[in-house]
């Protein structure tokens, strides 16, 4: 028994005994003080009754609020809640003492007490709601400490559930505090219920010349032979889409612990690549499509297959949704953009300072001055549909020139030809005189020399 309980019980027993000793205690006190016997008895009775309720309040606070409830909810309940409960028990005790011991009407006191409790309840409503929510979360066991959950789109591991907040730790180590009150009105996904199994998938595109049966057999074996993941059940292989460059296959597998998701996908992909390499199967790619695209672009006119193939290795794929801004006018971005799919609306200022709009389609490009001369972009480009664009950056072009310096002259010639046709679009002559192109070729050769190093000027 706790010391405080023992002391309170001793005080209660002592006061109770004294209240029964009329001749041995109450009578002499009344005689000495001149206070009526009845009044002295009421004071003693009221005192030991108050201590009885004090004992009850302490037991409720220590054993129920900060004992049983905290064990059940596995959370630390704030002392304010325990003090409020203690105050309520003592208030009930005082009302009983006034009514039964002093025979007083307590209707006015009860009305005042009810009003006070109402004000107190309003002031502490957030605490009460948060506490009740915390209790419900722990009783319902929607999730517990250690579970991997998603609450209102925020994913992480539950590290703590307090009376006010649920604390998540994300995969990046960040800590998220979610008020318990808000959890009642949001969606909760517990990845560990009914168990921690997790369905994962990996996609791979394989050429049409490989039979579906062979692909299924190889991918199935690749998943089972991957090292690290603990699988549940057997994997599945599905042919999902017929693409322009191959068949899209999806490999589905279930792992025993959702926390191993990224590691398991890495292991499966690595195993798939190993098995395909051993079977002399290559993952389909867009290299052939890119080569064909580069060969159709006027900027690469007369380039050899080897030169075009070198360019494809430095193209960066960019995808844009409709109405997405690709590049801003006057933006400092030293890149050229080649349209592979979709339509791009380009707004620019012509030689007469007039604002013009023009739609660019497949094989067309923009950004030559930005790439070759290091100037700010001269157009504002916005996608008009789903768009696939390939970007050549200044760093990429520097690498291309390092491998094939002869392309500096080739680019200068093509840029000169493109510019000449733009300036003479109304001419109907089939042939172009070399002396007409020479100034433009020297101009672009000088730009390339200034931005990318030594180049032999054209004479």
**Domain boundaries 198-278, corresponding CATH code:** 3.30.70.100
Supply 301's token pair.
């006119």
Least confident range of 8-12, 131-135, 288-292: 131-135
**Which of 63, 54, 52 minimizes the C-alpha distance to 2?**
63
Mean pLDDT on 89-93: 82
Whether pLDDT at 99 is above 80: no
Tell me what pLDDT residue 430 has.
58
The C-alpha atoms of residue 46 and residue 421 are separated, in whole angstroms, by: 110
Tell me what pLDDT residue 365 has.
94
State the helix-helix crossing angle for 394-403 and 434-452, rounded to 10 degrees.
110
The C-alpha atoms of residue 382 and residue 322 are separated, in whole angstroms, by: 8
251-264 per-position pLDDT tens digit: 999 888 777 777 88
Tell me what pLDDT residue 456 has.
41
397-440 per-position pLDDT tens digit: 999 999 999 999 999 999 999 888 888 776 655 577 788 888 99
Contact assessment for residue 390 and residue 340, using Cβ atoms and an 8 Å cutoff: yes
Domain 142-190 classification at class level: mainly beta
The C-alpha atoms of residue 88 and residue 80 are separated, in whole angstroms, by: 12
315-359 per-position pLDDT tens digit: 999 999 999 999 999 999 999 999 998 899 999 987 777 889 999
Strands, E, within 397-444: which ranges? none
Tell me what pLDDT residue 458 has.
39
Mean pLDDT on 169-182: 81
DSSP state of 231: B
Tell me what pLDDT residue 334 has.
93
State the helix-helix crossing angle for 407-423 and 394-403, rounded to 10 degrees.
120
For the whole model, what pTM was predicted?
0.41
**All structural domains of the chain with their residue ranges:** 3-123, 142-190, 198-278, 286-394, 405-459
Whether pLDDT at 53 is above 80: yes
Q: Cα angle at 373 between 372 and 376, to 5 degrees?
A: 110
Contact assessment for residue 251 and residue 184, using Cβ atoms and an 8 Å cutoff: no
Least confident range of 90-94, 127-131, 381-385, 390-394: 127-131
Pairing of strands 188-190, 198-206: unpaired
DSSP state of 159: E
Whether pLDDT at 17 is above 90: no
The C-alpha atoms of residue 68 and residue 77 are separated, in whole angstroms, by: 11
Q: Is omega for the bond preceding 71 within 30 degrees of 0, making it cis?
A: no
**Domain boundaries 286-394, corresponding CATH code:** 2.60.120.10
Q: How confident is the model at residue 245 (pLDDT cuts 50, 70, 90)?
A: low
Residue environment code for 190-211, b if the CB has 16+ CB neighbours within 10 A, otherwise e:
bbbeeebbbebebebbbeeebe
Tell me what pLDDT residue 155 has.
84
The C-alpha atoms of residue 113 and residue 277 are separated, in whole angstroms, by: 82
The C-alpha atoms of residue 45 and residue 12 are separated, in whole angstroms, by: 10
Mean pLDDT on 204-219: 84
123-151 per-position pLDDT tens digit: 556 666 666 666 566 555 677 778 888 88
Q: Which runs of consecutive H residues, i.e. helices, occur in 297-352? A: 305-312
User: Which span out of 183-187, 273-277, 292-296 was modeled with the highest average pLDDT?
Assistant: 292-296
Q: How confident is the model at residue 68 (pLDDT cuts 50, 70, 90)?
A: confident
Residue environment code for 96-105, b if the CB has 16+ CB neighbours within 10 A, otherwise e:
bbeeebeeee
- The mean pLDDT value of the chain amounts to 81
Tell me what pLDDT residue 459 has.
35
């Amino acid at each position: 028994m706790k010391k405080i309980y023992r002391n309170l019980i001793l005080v209660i027993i002592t006061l109770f005994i004294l209240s029964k000793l009329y001749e041995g205690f109450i009578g002499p006190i009344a005689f000495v003080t001149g206070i009526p016997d009845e009044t002295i008895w009421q004071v003693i009775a009221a005192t030991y009754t108050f201590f009885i309720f004090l004992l009850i309040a302490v037991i409720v606070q220590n054993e129920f609020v900060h004992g049983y409830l905290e064990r059940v909810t596995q959370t630390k309940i704030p002392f304010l809640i325990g003090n409020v409960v203690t105050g309520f028990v003592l208030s009930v005790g005082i009302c009983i003492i006034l009514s039964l011991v002093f025979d007083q009407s307590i209707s006015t006191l009860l009305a005042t007490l009810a009003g006070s409790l109402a004000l107190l309840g309003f002031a502490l409503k957030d605490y009460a709601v948060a506490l009740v929510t915390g209790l419900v979360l722990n009783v319902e066991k929607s999730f517990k400490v250690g579970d991997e959950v998603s609450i209102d789109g925020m994913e992480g591991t539950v590290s703590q559930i307090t009376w006010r907040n649920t604390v998540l730790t994300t995969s990046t180590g960040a800590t998220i505090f979610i008020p318990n009150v808000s959890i009642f009105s949001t969606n909760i996904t517990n990845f560990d219920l009914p168990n921690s199994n997790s369905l994962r998938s990996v996609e791979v595109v394989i050429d049409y010349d490989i039979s579906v049966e062979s692909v299924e057999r190889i991918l199935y074996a690749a998943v089972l032979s991957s090292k690290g993941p603990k699988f549940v059940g057997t994997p599945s292989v599905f042919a999902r889409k017929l693409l322009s460059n191959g068949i899209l296959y999806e490999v589905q597998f279930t792992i025993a612990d959702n926390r191993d998701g990224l590691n398991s996908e890495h292991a499966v992909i690595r195993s798939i690549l190993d098995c395909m390499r051993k079977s002399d199967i290559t993952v389909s790619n867009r290299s052939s499509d890119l080569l064909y695209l580069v060969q159709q672009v006027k900027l690469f006119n007369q380039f050899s297959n080897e030169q075009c193939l070198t360019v494809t290795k430095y193209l960066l794929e960019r995808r844009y949704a409709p109405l997405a801004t690709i590049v801003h006018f006057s933006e400092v971005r030293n890149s050229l953009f080649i349209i592979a799919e979709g339509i791009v609306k380009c707004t620019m200022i012509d030689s007469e300072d007039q604002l013009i709009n023009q739609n660019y389609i497949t094989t067309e490009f923009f950004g030559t001055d930005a790439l070759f001369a290091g100037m700010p972009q001269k157009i504002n480009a916005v996608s008009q549909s789903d768009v696939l664009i390939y970007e050549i950056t200044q760093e990429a072009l520097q690498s291309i020139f390092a491998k094939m310096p002869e392309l500096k002259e080739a680019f200068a010639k093509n840029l000169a030809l493109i510019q000449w046709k733009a300036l003479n679009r109304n001419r109907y002559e089939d042939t172009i005189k070399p002396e007409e192109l020479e100034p433009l070729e020297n101009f672009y050769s000088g730009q390339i020399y200034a931005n990318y190093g030594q180049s032999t000027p054209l004479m």
